Each structure stands twice: as C-alpha cells, then as structure tokens.
Structure 1
Amino acid sequence: MTSPTAPDLSALRPELEAGLRALDLDVALATPLLDYVALLVRWNATYNLTAIRDPREMIAKHLLDSLAMHPYVEGIGRLADLGTGAGLPGIPLAIAKPVLQVSLVESNGKKVRFMREAIRKLGLTNAEAVESRIEAFDAPGRFDAITARALATLPLILESGGHLLRPGGVLLAMKGVVPSEEIAALPPGWRVRELHPMRVPGLDAERHLIVVAAA
C-alpha cells in the first residue's frame, strides 16, 4: 500500500507517558503504542478506519480508553475482541499484556488488513486478526473472556458472541454511563457480576466496565 510518510508523534509522548503512569502501566509501552497510532494515522489517510483523525485525540480516546480496562484482564488467557474495528481495545491490550492471547474479530476487510499489518509491524505474537462476522466465528468455548468497546447492547453482544465463551467465561463490556436498560434486558442465564467505574486519563467522560457472567 502506498501511504504518506509515518508522522512524527514524538510531541505526544509526554502526554501518553503521563496517562500510562496514571493507569499504573510501564511508560516504556509508549514506544509501541505510538508506533500503532502512527500506522493508524497513515492508513486513515487512505481508508476510513476511525472517525478520530487527530493523533492527539487518539491518545486519550483510543489508547488510554482501551488500556483503562487492563486490570480486569489479569489472569485471563484468551480474549476475543468483538467488532474491534481498527483493533481497539485489543491491540493496546496485547501490547501492554504480552501473556494475553487476543483474537481481533472484525468483518470489515480493510480494517482486518490494517490490523494484520499492525500485528506484523509491531511484532505482536499474542494477537491475531480474524475476518468474520461475530456470530459466524467458529470458535465455540475457546475464550476466557469476550470484550466489545462500542459495538452493541449487552444482550446483542451476548446473542452474537456468547458462544465463544468457555464455561465460567465473562463478557467485559466497555460502556459510558451505566446502561441500566441493557442490564435489565440481559438474556436469561446471564447476570452482571461486577460494575467498575473507570477513570480514563485525559478523557472527561463517564466510563464503566460491566462484567457479565453466567448466572
């Protein structure tokens, strides 16, 4: 793919490092995370991968928002990121948590091509991009957790992706305000096990992580 020269994002490093410190993450992660943003900016110039086009906005709204859930993937072996788009939150989590195996599930071919290039360039041996509709992803019971950042309602996520969870597996759903109506509409056999307010450095917006498990 012919694309513009990689942008120089070094001016954004202090802001990203401050955010990483606030999330209790190693500031050394700033290097691969900025490499990912640089790739995203380059591809976004040709393909519409994300509506956010300003690299500075991507720091808080993409990277730090994705990484805010990192404490809740501790101890998880395999994570499926459903409707991941350009790889969010899956790629930042794979960068920050090398022992976490992440499957990035996306039906849009150009986004999958971008993710495969990002995985190759970043040397992420713990991530794979899967081109598939969520309900057609033939991996029943393979995952300890599924996640979705801005995909759909909780009932719809479970309807399309619940088959991917092993017994005892959980949905880690990233939401803004507490989605009371979605929680009330959970399918039979599912319940909210935990609800965590999340503070995202640089983002003045309400964010919550909803942990849904089998009842």
Structure 2
Amino acid sequence: MAERFAELLAHDGVIRGLIGPRETPRLWERHLMNCAVLGEAIPSGVTVCDIGSGAGLPGLVLALARPDLEVCLVEPLLRRTTFLDEAVDALGLDNVEVVRGRAEELHGTREFTVVTSRAVAPLGRLADWSMPLVREGGHLVAMKGSSAHEEIDAARTTLQRLGAGVVEVLSLGIGRIDPPTTVVRVEATRPSRLRWNPSTSRGSAGPGSTGSNRSRRPRSRKKGPPS
C-alpha cells in the first residue's frame, strides 16, 4: 500500500502540482519514511487530525503505517482534497476521513487526541490553529526542522494562553532514517473549548486560506472516524 501511494505521489501528485518533480527520486527517504516515524510519538488507537494535509503528508502516511489510528485529513484546497479522496479510495483505507476546510472551521465542533502538521506555519500560528482541536490530555505533534527550539521560545506566550503543558522536542526514527525527524510535541492541559470567530480573523486565516472571512461548511467522507 505504501508503494502504491508512492506511485500516486510520483505521478498524479506531480501532475497536479502537489509535489515537485525533483522530489520523486527521494520520495521514500525525504517524505514517506520521514512522515512514517511520526507514529513513534502517537499512542495506540487514538484519533489524529492532520491540518494542511496537502498531498497526505504526514496524515495519509500515518494512516498507512498505523491502521490502529483514525485519521482526519483537513485541507482547504479542492484540488488537494480531490487527490486525497482518490488516494484513500485507491488504497482501500477505511480509517481515513477527508475534510475540505480550514482548521479554524472545526474549532468547537471537533476534537482529537493528536493534531499533526508538516511545514504549515511557525509554531505560534500553528498552535492557534491546532490547540483548540486537541482534547484535554492530548498533544499537538508538529514536524519541524533545526529551528524547533527557537520556534518554541518565540511561541511561549501563545502556548501559555492556549493552555499548553509540557513542550518538548523529539528526534524520531533514530537508527532507521538519517537524519531523524524532528517534532515539537505540546501537551494540552485543558479542554478544547475555543471557537473560531471569522469576523476577527481577517487576513490571518488558516493554512491555504484565500483570506476570506466567509466560513465554509466542511465536506466530509461518510466513512470517516467519529470526532
């Protein structure tokens, strides 16, 4: 199944502009394995939301590597959700839901044990979009690079406001991939009760936003996981 997904990325993913053609020779080490090891930071049998999922990295890869997880892929752009829907059908996955929308549109209506992301935004903005979706005791698990510690320092005020508990930097896949995957894991210490108010978000909407303040109702797969 992972090999089939790699083929989809290398063909349809490139044609549709979801992944650069220069990335195809290094799909496995730079993208698939890099995302698959994220499972080391996620407990068994929980719900996962991947915001700004794009081509399904890391969310769809997690669903392949960890069939015990219920994964919701949140992506605002139609051409990307179309690809994700087609990939889910082609791979026969029954543990994946695809939602077209911005993360903020789910605030106050959905919550998950883990919220993931990859190359979406600096940690401060990412926390504003992600933490309201994390249930109490759950975690934000964001894939980051060498600037992870600097991003944490810059986001401390925001993290405190959002009720963050333990914040840590983890290296995943040691001995399996080189270099290891760096993630920031943020504990949620209070219930996710925040709601997004579109009228206060002009010009600062979520990943992939066009800047519109008009909320769109998310389009979901019927066979997806419960909230």
- Which category describes the TM-score, using the shorter chain as reference length? 0.7 to 0.9
CA contact (8 A) 1:64 1:200 kept: no
CA contact (8 A) 1:197 1:208 kept: yes
CA contact (8 A) 1:79 1:146 kept: yes
CA contact (8 A) 2:53 2:75 kept: yes
Q: State the match for 1:97 in structure 2.
A: 66
Q: State the match for 2:208 in structure 1.
A: none
**Structure 1 pair 158–89 and aligned structure 2 pair: CA distance change class (3 A):** same
Residue 53 of structure 1 and its aligned partner are, at CA, apart by: 4.2
Report Cα offsets for 1:111-155 as digits up to 9, x if no partner: 110000000010110011111011123564520010111111121
Instruction: Give the distance between the partners of 1:196 and 1:175, measured in 2 at CA.
Output: 10
- Give the letter for the 1:66 counterpart: C
**Structure 1 pair 52–136 and aligned structure 2 pair: CA distance change class (3 A):** farther
Q: State the match for 1:34 in structure 2.
A: 3
- Give the letter for the 2:184 counterpart: I
- Give the letter for the 1:169 counterpart: G
Q: 1:131 aligns with which of 95, 100, 121?
A: 100
Number of residue pairs aligned between Structure 1 and Structure 2: 184
Asked which structure has the greater RCO (Cα within 8 Å, sep 6+), the reply is: 2
CA contact (8 A) 1:140 1:165 kept: no
Q: 1:63 aligns with which of 32, 36, 44?
A: 32
Instruction: Give the distance between the partners of 1:78 and 1:199, measured in 2 at CA.
Output: 22
Instruction: Give the distance between the partners of 2:35 and 2:43, measured in 1 at CA.
Output: 14
The answer as to 2:55 corresponding to 1:86 is: yes
Partner of 2:15, secondary structure, is coil
- Give the letter for the 2:113 counterpart: D
- CA RMSD between the two structures: 2.1
Partner of 2:18, secondary structure, is coil
TM-score, length basis structure 2: 0.73
The answer as to 2:122 corresponding to 1:148 is: no
The answer as to 2:46 corresponding to 1:72 is: no
Worse-superposed segment, 77-86 or 133-142 = 133-142
**Structure 1 pair 76–158 and aligned structure 2 pair: CA distance change class (3 A):** farther
CA contact (8 A) 2:37 2:181 kept: no
TM-score, length basis structure 1: 0.77
CA contact (8 A) 2:114 2:134 kept: yes
Report Cα offsets for 1:139-185 as digits up to 9, x if no partner: 64520010111111121111112211111121011111152232122
Partner of 1:102, secondary structure, is strand
CA contact (8 A) 1:176 1:206 kept: no
- Give the letter for the 2:144 counterpart: K
- Give the letter for the 2:120 counterpart: L
**Structure 1 pair 175–45 and aligned structure 2 pair: CA distance change class (3 A):** closer
Q: State the match for 2:143 in structure 1.
A: 174
Instruction: Give the distance between the partners of 1:203 and 1:84, measured in 2 at CA.
Output: 22
**Structure 1 pair 201–66 and aligned structure 2 pair: CA distance change class (3 A):** farther
- Quote the sequence identity (%): 32
**Structure 1 pair 72–203 and aligned structure 2 pair: CA distance change class (3 A):** closer
